Amino acid sequence: MRMPLAALLLLLLAGEGAWAQAPSPQPPDAASTRPGAAKPVSTPEAKASPGKASPGAEKGAPEKLPLGVSAVLWRLAVPQGAEPTPEKVALGQKLFLDKRLSVDDSVSCSTCHVPEQGFVDGKTTSVGVKNQKGMRNSPTVLNAMFQASQFWDGRAATLEDQAKLPILNPIEMGQPSPEAVVTKVRAIPEYAQAFQRIYGRDVTYDDLSNAIAAFERTQFSGNARFDRFIAGDEKALGARERHGWALFNGKARCSECHAANAQSPLFSDQKFHNIGIAAHKQDFVQLAREGVRVVRLGDEKQIDELAIQTRFTELGRFLVTKQENDIGAFKTQTLRNIALTAPYMHDGSLPTLWDVMDHYNKGGVQNPYLDGGMQRLGLTEPEIDDLVAFLFTLTDERFEKLGAQQLARQRARKGVRPERDTAQAMGKKGNLGDLAPNPDLAVKNPADLGAYGTP
């Protein structure tokens, strides 16, 4: 049984800190990640030196973990009996890269989760078999093992459950049934032999997803410049990046949902919030009325297809719970490696982190289900620059070159800011019901107040 996040965090509080020192992981081996290539997987686990456990290592956890990834967190995130053995990881990696899992041999897991790109595809929304376009942006696999639920709406509880759905979705990989997948894989001699050797039986759909999940559980990521800063290297961040970190926890209020500390190193509360992204294009009230009639509670297949194929995708978490408070709500994404995962939001509608900051700065987009924590921030342009600079420090050193390319690309778009509304952000128009720490509104705009407000 998966441990609830709250219990996990309590155990972390009682155990070691999450910021344990560990050697740097090696760069990804591009040759080993080519589709169809059955190369040995390159993971910290595989590279561990026997008998040289890192400080605080937990039984069953890899002996070497990157800075910022706790052995305690790793152990608690892996269900008992689902530990990724080298044999399962190698098989899972091969399946992850193999387009033969799709109905027409054209799409693999790695088509939307490209290892060399930080396990995303860089597209607004992902494209599946027969060049069909889905309705959701592809989230990264990096650190997905630590998520309390999978997908933007949390409709899968485990990596194993998550791995099964895209293979059967008509748009993504298009297989008609688990039986069809198993029949196809059993007919491939190398897989038939591998499953017999590792699982002691013919291919099953459960074992197939188990192997893919084992590979994904080796894709943990830390070792960012921010981790070195937290560990005591004050020179790891520049002045503007440190100011961005202060804004993150202060005036910008990012930490309200993107919590990050020794107990929660993922920069996510793992909850679901309506921040108004889908309100650009939807009448939520009307859509919700229709959704109530359409959604069958507990029907995993229907929820998956509605999320990927229809306009009901914008209902978000509501598809899973049918609770009104979840209308238009999507999971808070981890900010680790956020530099690599553009475009942003569940629909990929925001091309850069500057656009993301503009969205939050004006208090999101009004709709009846907007999260109560959304309010305009009053951030100045230099403050937004500093916040974005800080976010880029969360990139794993393995992807430093890719992060620099993303920074240059996003910075080049600074002049194109469709979400920017300075008058709204500064409280000069609109009425969002700001939480005013200063009751004298005639003296100072409440949006300007805060621990890091401008004088």
Active site positions, annotated: 172
Phi-psi region of 348 (alpha: psi -120 to 50; beta: other; left: phi over 0): left
- Assess contact for 356 and 137: CB atoms under 8 A: no
Phi-psi region of 233 (alpha: psi -120 to 50; beta: other; left: phi over 0): beta
Cα torsion through 398, 399, 401, 404, rounded to 10 = -140
Distance CA 445, CA 455 (A): 11
Residue whose token pair is 């507990």: 298
Distance CA 70, CA 76 (A): 10
CA atoms within 13 A on the CB side of 170: 8
Handedness of CA 61, 35, 337, 44 (dihedral sign): positive
Distance CA 65, CA 24 (A): 8
Alpha carbon separation from 18 to 40, 141, 261, 285 (Å, rounded) = 29, 20, 8, 42
Q: Reduced to 3 states, what is the DSSP secondary structure of residue 73?
A: helix
- Around Cβ 95, how many Cβ atoms within 10 Å? 23
CA-nearest of 90, 91, 83, 85 to 195 is 91
Q: Please provide residue 84's backbone torsions phi and psi, each rounded to the nearest 5 degrees.
A: -80, 95
